[in-house]
Structure 1
Amino acid sequence: MMIKIFLVEDEIAIRKGIKNSIDWGKEGYEFVGEAGDGELAYPMILKTKPDILITDIKMPFMDGLQLSKLVRKELPATKILILSGYDEFEYAKEAIKLQVAEYLLKPISSAKLLDVLAQVKEVIRQEQEEKELIKKYREDMKENRELEKERFLNQIIAQNLSLAQILETGESLGMDLSAPLYNILLLKITENGGKQETYAEIESALDTLSGVFSFRRGVDEWLFLLTADDAEKMERRIESCRKAVRQITEKTDPPVEYFGALGNPVERLREIKNSLKEAEKKFAFQYFKKWNQILEIPVRDVGSSENPQTEKNENEELLISSVQVDKLNHKIIENFIHTGLRREVSNFVDDYFMSLGEKSVQSLMFRQYVAMDFYLAAVAFLERLGFSSKELVERCGDLKEMEQVIQTIEQTKEYIKKVLDATLECRESVSRKRYSDLLKEAVSYIEHHYEEEDISLNQVAASVNISPSHFSTIFSKEMGETFIEYLTNVRMERAKQLLRSSTMKTAEIAYAVGYKDAHYFSYLFKKVQKCTPREFRTQV
């Protein structure tokens, strides 16, 4: 670690003497600049950002104390050493107020200066280590927090929690979920080099909006829970979200496209599931419609419709009219088979038929054509994956049997849903096999490198040739715990072995399992094991 040094001294002989009497590079320092007074030095210091400033106290134009005040304000991490020919109380008192690292009397030998610099260098090293530790701790906590939020969302949707539990858990995650009105926004953006950075920026922007809470949903999808006091404020909240997403995606380089869908507003937290269901219906239109928009049905006062059936028909007409029918083609089916999710199958097929128009699907011949289009696309895709068409025949029958099972529109839709579900299940089995092999490699890498303090999710993801965000999601989903939780458990198990079988000190064990800071190791050990390392050793 090269420490940058800047020297300010008005007496040229002293300045040159200090500069030339020390082999800075050999001692682990980089001499980045010098000046004869504070006024000349200040802009140079702002540019070079030294770790240590050595300054005389009595200088023309701007003295060392004035310079120190300015540097302390702009570069608070810079350590200041004051040189003075005056052993006066007032100077020393002022220096203490400025929290200077040392107040040294001139003349000073190079040996004495190096001794003081070594002490300051050690302080800087400790501070940097502490800063890195805090950064790593925050990153770990953020990853665990995202998983906690994802689990919390799933519990709300599954209606596994009481209202009191939802509010209490939400509060522990920094969410005030008490509100008269709720809505769901689903969001997805196109793949590009900075996809996850774009998501992070969108999440940050929407999280700063009052009453908007973010949840990760799978690898490349986000869910935002919107709360508001009434329908008018909900409309404003939605518009704020739309504006934030548009502004962020427009300025990205390379550019990205987004697609979003809103649910219907609901009055109870336990009804969020219904809002999500409506959002997912509209979200399936990502395969049909142009992107760079957030689909919604106009927000109305909850329960204000006098005729629910009329409202339903109006909503359906809105969705039908919004689809660009002339762009519906075989590519839409192929795109869904390649990228769609099994949970989206039902909504996708319903929306697909809606887009074809009621008159078209009344024709049995037309329905046969549509069903055959899906069937042949599925067969072609499965063959590319290495499956035989026999897989599809076993689950859905062959083309000869198709006519018998598509006598009505609903039968046709159910048949196509069955074909798609079987196809996506095969696709998922291939992915699971790939992920299984990938995770075995990742786990092996962790087992061989857990003792390295700087092992990170990014490092492990790189070892298996996958993006960190994708790896994080896969790891959490397949392993049932986050990367950090798994790594911590591996380290704690090894630590327990050493506590049982060796006489190593706690600090030595901490270092052996990847922690430089023994206090942090003890904190984590107690968090996982419910006892300190010393107590554990006593028990065994």
Structure 2
Amino acid sequence: MYKVIIVDDEAVVRIGLKNTIQWHEHGFELIGDYANGREAWDAIELDRPELVISDISMPFMDGLELAGLISAQYPYIKMIILTGFDEFEYAQQAIRLKISDFILKPITAQEIRQLLDRIKGEMDEEKQRREDLSRLNSQLEQSLPLLKERFLERLVAVGLGEAAIAERLTYFSLPPMPPPYLVMVVDIDDFGSRVFSSYEHDAEFLRFAAYDIFQETAAREQVLAFRTREERMVAIVYGENDESLLYERVFSLAEEIRYHIEKYLKFTVTVGIGRVCTNAEQLPASYKSALSVLDYRFLLGKNRVLSITDIEGKSSNVLPLSNDWDRKLAAAVKTGAIQEAYLLIESGVAELKRSMVPAEACLLQMQKVVLSLMNSIQELAIHEIDPAFGEQIKLMDILKFKTLDEVELWLKEVVRSVISTVTDNRNYLTNKQIHQAVKYIDTNYANEKMSLQDLCRHVLMSTSYFSLVFKQHTGETFIEYLTGTRVGKAKELLHNSTLKLYEIAEQVGYKDPNYFSIIFKKHTGMTPKDYRDKQIKGSGV
């Protein structure tokens, strides 16, 4: 509801307007009626109505004087003038005073109602515009910190001209930056051993806490601090005439930030310090060099302050590892030599660290190693790959690590898993081959000419390796197992058949009945004839 008052020295007009108009139906609340402009002005200052309907000709203060005061002090209050004088001079003054409408008396109730509806529509539109503007201003104020961060990020990532930099520094109420400049980038290594119930929420809280320490520490220096969209913390440091003093101040600031985050938040960050630049347009070069030095965390480890001045001139574009390093590692894996494989990994990683090869080259070398290991698995025709193992050995897994030490631990675990898988596969194949050998013996024991060589050709194994694993699996040599099988079959025939002894000997693989009797007695402690007689006697036949 909009508040409205009536001002007219004629009581009949005031009473008529009050009683004939249903004000609430038109969106207004009539809060008073007054006989002259002076009384109305006092009420206006007290109640601040949104609409004043006033006559022109009144004692003490006429309608135009009242309109002048309202226009000067409360320009948002709308005013409708009612007059019985059709004078052009009045109309001119009404326009100059921004009066909403100038109505000649007499006026009907219907005309008043239509007028009120129109005025309310105008007031609703103005209210909506004001609210929209207020909301936009509020949104702008809320967005200013983010807009400032995006400006600073663009300043270091892309670059801006001198005039644009000066203009935006003023817009965001940032201090002017005297040269030289240096960009420092702080990147969270990880969140330590924390186990998060809701990782994204907890991680965001810790990132905010780290940035709070970063800002608080940087606030004591001549620094512009902000966060990038990659959640890195960046500081543009300035305010030293001497470059060496600027480096010294940045190193001190970086070490303080690193120390406080580790001490109070219990996780670590790595800080990259770029090159000094002499004008603000060159800030992207300093930022790029700070990012590039962060890559050396991969070789040098986490929780460090690294400067481009310490790295320049030490890196090499030549890959230090020999071409057959991954081949040797694959060979050690195939043979199950896990300690030899571990030593190869350790020596390779140490060589990569000494060479200061860029992280991309190191990752490429490690991916070649993984490919070599995967080829080894295929060459060994492993019967079944555990899905979890398949996930573990994926090439892209390497990219998630931030240091070469982490890659070393991961690669050792991959090698351990591969060797375990190869060993399991070899055991599986060996068990399968031994099972085939036993089945072959059980089927062909009657063949007098069966030999170890025949059996090994059947199961595709060397005689020496077969003899070793056969005894491991059965507890007997090939001859012992074959003889035991033949004697067992002979027992069955002696007990269940009326075959003559020489016939039984022949059926279990012995052409010579005497040799059969010797072998049988050696295994059972009695001759075949005694064994049969004992079985017959025992059965009561």
Report the TM-score range of the alignment, normalised by the length of the smaller protein. Answer: 0.3 to 0.5
Larger Rg belongs to: 2
> What TM-score do the two structures reach when normalised by structure 2?
0.36
